[in-house]
């Protein structure tokens, strides 16, 4: 972690976190004690969810679930539903923490919101850029292509399907999972010959299967050489809360002027509840997905999900505020230490694996000896069934050295040193 100054991200005491969340909830609409009768929302049903439980007093996240704030819209744009203004401010602060203090954007230079997951956030980005090219360049869908590596997340396929766009996959080197300049230039040249004029490029900040990281400069150089227009999105759904802290220079941050948006995902390494993807884009881009027909929503709506739980944003803010930037770095260092230890033991056994040095993912070749342990230890394959070529270990907080040692103890008798090297 090279940053020394953090503008928004501070470590807070649990009492300070509780006070801030409860104050924000009190600034939201009180469904019980007012005369409002036109809001199509309410607190959770008290016959099922006990809003009077003393447990809620010291549990701000559970309290936010019961009070049920709806964070419809994108609050960084300025105008939002006033009924939930208190907790909207927490979400706005969370977006600034992520954009500025983690992803190196200028202060107040980005918009964003807490999405239902990384998949939604990636679709949101591609939706924005498709509309940008259609409106600003009068492009047709068949002139636009999504470009990403063959290791990219399946959400790119979803987005291309939903938005009626072609998708072009760039092969990666089998041994180090890296993009090759000649492959990119050739693929882009072919796209241009086939009538493509505009590209939506997605670069990976740690892929889901390998933890590999793309070099955006390879894309940028080839695009300039071929002569196409592009917008670039970064899929940091896996690595966004890890890679920036583990590398000396993050080429996939907003310091790179060619990067327009970034996806994060807090329900992985941040251990927030599922449904907490984060989408962040430079200001001026969200307007391309305004839904003008949402006239009853104050400020309209520029998000794919529409209504969404404010509790999810509160949960992520609580986690990051509990650790602070230095505590978060320390937490990540613990994962890296465990991952390094695992790799040292695998090296001693002569086993082949791929591991990006800034990642906590170790992906092993699916040799028969390792396949025998896949079900017992929950090793995740690149493809289920007999076609699996890789099996991965992800060193999360619950993956202790004891658990890794148990795996190695079970594996060692199956593999003689050097026998499985490829």
| 46 in a structural domain | no
| 107 in a structural domain | yes
- The model's pTM is 0.95
Q: For residues 418 and 324, which has the higher predicted lDDT (pLDDT)?
A: 324
User: 254 and 368, same structural domain?
Assistant: no
| 242 in a structural domain | yes
Other CB atoms within 10 Å distance of the CB of residue 138: 8
> Of all residues in the chain, what percent carry a pLDDT higher than 70?
96
Q: Report pLDDT for 418.
A: 47
Point out the domain boundary residue: 322, 346, 379: 322
| 19 in a structural domain | no
User: 307 and 378, same structural domain?
Assistant: no
| Type and span of the H or E element at 416 | none
Residue 314 per-residue DSSP state: H
Per-residue confidence band for 409, with pLDDT thresholds at 50, 70 and 90: very high
| 55 in a structural domain | no
User: 334 and 249, same structural domain?
Assistant: no
**Count of the separate structural domains present in the chain:** 2
CATH number at 390 reads 3.90.1150.10
Q: What are phi and psi of 211, to 5 degrees?
A: 75, 15
Query: What is d(CA 102, CA 241) in angstroms, rounded to the nearest whole number?
Result: 8
Q: Report pLDDT for 296.
A: 59
User: 226 and 82, same structural domain?
Assistant: yes
Q: Which of 29, 77, 85 is nearest to 301 (CA)?
A: 77
The whole domain housing 357 covers: 325-414
Residue 185 per-residue DSSP state: H
Please provide the average confidence, as pLDDT, over all residues in the chain.
Answer: 93
User: 233 and 113, same structural domain?
Assistant: yes
Q: Report pLDDT for 47.
A: 87
| 409 in a structural domain | yes
| 17 in a structural domain | no
Query: What is d(CA 356, CA 340) in angstroms, rounded to the nearest whole number?
Result: 11
Query: What is d(CA 186, CA 228) in angstroms, rounded to the nearest whole number?
Result: 13
* DSSP E strand boundaries for 271-313: 277-282
Alpha carbon distances (Å) from 366 to 176, 243, 342: 16, 26, 17
Structure tokens at 117: 């997951």
Calculate mean pLDDT across residues 190-194.
98
Cβ 101 vs Cβ 9: under 8 Å? yes
Residue 391 per-residue DSSP state: E
User: 277 and 165, same structural domain?
Assistant: yes
Strand pairing report for 277-282 and 144-149: unpaired
Point out the domain boundary residue: 262, 297, 322: 322
Q: Report pLDDT for 417.
A: 47
The label of the residue with tokens 């150089």 reads: 221
Structure tokens at 184: 């990119």
Per-residue confidence band for 422, with pLDDT thresholds at 50, 70 and 90: very low
């Amino acid at each position: 972690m090279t940053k020394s100054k953090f503008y928004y991200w501070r470590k807070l005491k649990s009492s300070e976190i509780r006070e801030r969340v409860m104050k924000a909830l009190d600034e939201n609409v009180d469904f019980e004690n007012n005369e409002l009768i036109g809001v199509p929302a309410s607190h959770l049903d008290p016959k099922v969810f006990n809003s009077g439980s003393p447990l809620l007093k010291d549990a701000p996240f559970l309290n936010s679930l019961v009070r049920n704030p709806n964070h419809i819209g994108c609050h960084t744009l300025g105008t939002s539903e006033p009924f939930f203004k208190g907790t909207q401010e927490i979400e706005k602060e969370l977006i600034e923490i992520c954009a500025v203090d983690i992803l190196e954007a200028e202060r107040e230079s980005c918009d964003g919101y807490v999405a239902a997951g990384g998949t939604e956030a990636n679709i949101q980005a591609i939706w924005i850029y498709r509309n940008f090219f259609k409106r600003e360049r009068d492009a047709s869908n068949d002139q636009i292509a999504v470009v990403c590596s063959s290791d990219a997340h399946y959400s790119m396929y979803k987005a291309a399907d939903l938005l009626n766009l072609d998708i072009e996959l760039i092969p990666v080197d089998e041994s180090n999972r890296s993009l090759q300049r000649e492959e990119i230039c050739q693929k882009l040249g072919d796209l241009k010959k086939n009538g493509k004029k505009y590209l939506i490029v997605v670069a990976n900040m740690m892929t889901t299967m390998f933890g590999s990281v793309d070099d955006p400069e390879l894309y940028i150089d080839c695009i300039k050489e071929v002569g196409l227009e592009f917008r670039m999105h970064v899929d940091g759904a896996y690595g966004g809360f890890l890679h920036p802290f583990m590398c000396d220079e993050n080429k996939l941050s907003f310091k790179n002027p060619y990067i327009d948006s970034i996806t994060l995902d807090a329900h992985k390494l941040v251990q927030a509840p599922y449904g907490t993807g984060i989408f962040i884009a430079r200001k001026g881009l969200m307007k391309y997905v305004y839904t003008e027909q949402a006239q009853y929503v104050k400020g309209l709506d520029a998000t794919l999900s529409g209504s969404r739980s404010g509790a999810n944003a509160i949960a992520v803010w609580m986690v990051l505020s509990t650790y602070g930037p230095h505590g978060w770095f320390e937490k990540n260092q613990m994962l890296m230490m465990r991952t390094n230890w695992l790799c040292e033991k695998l090296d001693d056994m002569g086993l082949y694996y791929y591991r990006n040095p800034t990642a906590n993912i170790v992906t092993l070749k699916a040799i028969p000896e390792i396949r025998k342990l896949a079900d017992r230890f929950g090793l995740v394959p690149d493809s289920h069934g007999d076609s699996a070529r890789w099996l991965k270990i992800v060193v999360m907080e619950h993956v202790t050295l004891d658990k890794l040692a148990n795996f190695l103890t079970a594996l060692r008798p199956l593999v003689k040193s050097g026998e499985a090297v490829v």
